[in-house]
Amino acid sequence: MSENKTDETKNPRSFEERVFARFDAVDSRLDAVDSRLGALENRVGKLESKRYDTKPIWEQALASIAETNQKLAETNQKLAETNERMDRGFDLLRNEMKAEFSAVRNEMKTEFTAVRHEIEHSLRGVDRKIDVLNQNIFNFQVDQRYVDRRLAELESQIKPT
């Protein structure tokens, strides 16, 4: 048997034609890879250009955020100052109210003392009047008993005929 395998192929083309056909196939595949690589480079280039395009937007956004933070800090400072002023105002109002309440309390004590004195004076007068009234009723009852006793004596002296 012979070791010549080229004779066994049923391909009518020669060895050189087949090798060149393979080279052509590899070449066409390399061309396809090259075109795909070119497309990929284009896409990467577009993405990089967009990245550079967004850099100013990010810088603007960061500047805006920094400005907002600054305004918030200023607002917080103003709120703290306002709270301090309000606290001082509340302290002043509280002190004024305490002073007013103290004055009203003292005035009420004075007035209540005067009213208490008047009531006690009036009650002493009522006590005296009640005492006089009781004395009159007592005297009236004494007189009534005297009259009842005298009437009973008179009735006992008169004899029916």
Give pLDDT tens digits for 65-115: 999 999 999 999 999 999 999 999 999 999 999 999 999 999 999 999 999
- What is the pLDDT confidence band of residue 2, given thresholds at 50, 70 and 90? low
The answer to whether residue 4 scores a pLDDT higher than 90 is no
Segment 24-35, tens digit of pLDDT: 888 888 888 888
pLDDT tens per residue, range 6-61 = 555 566 788 888 888 888 888 888 888 888 888 888 888 887 776 666 667 778 88
CB of 15 closer than 8 Å to CB of 6:
yes
Task: Provide DSSP, 95-133.
Answer: HHHHHHHHHHHHHHHHHHHHHHHHHHHHHHHHHHHHHHH
Q: Is the pTM of this model over 0.85?
A: no
Q: How many secondary structure helices (H) and strands (E) does the chain include?
A: 1, 0
Q: DSSP secondary-structure letter at 158?
A: -
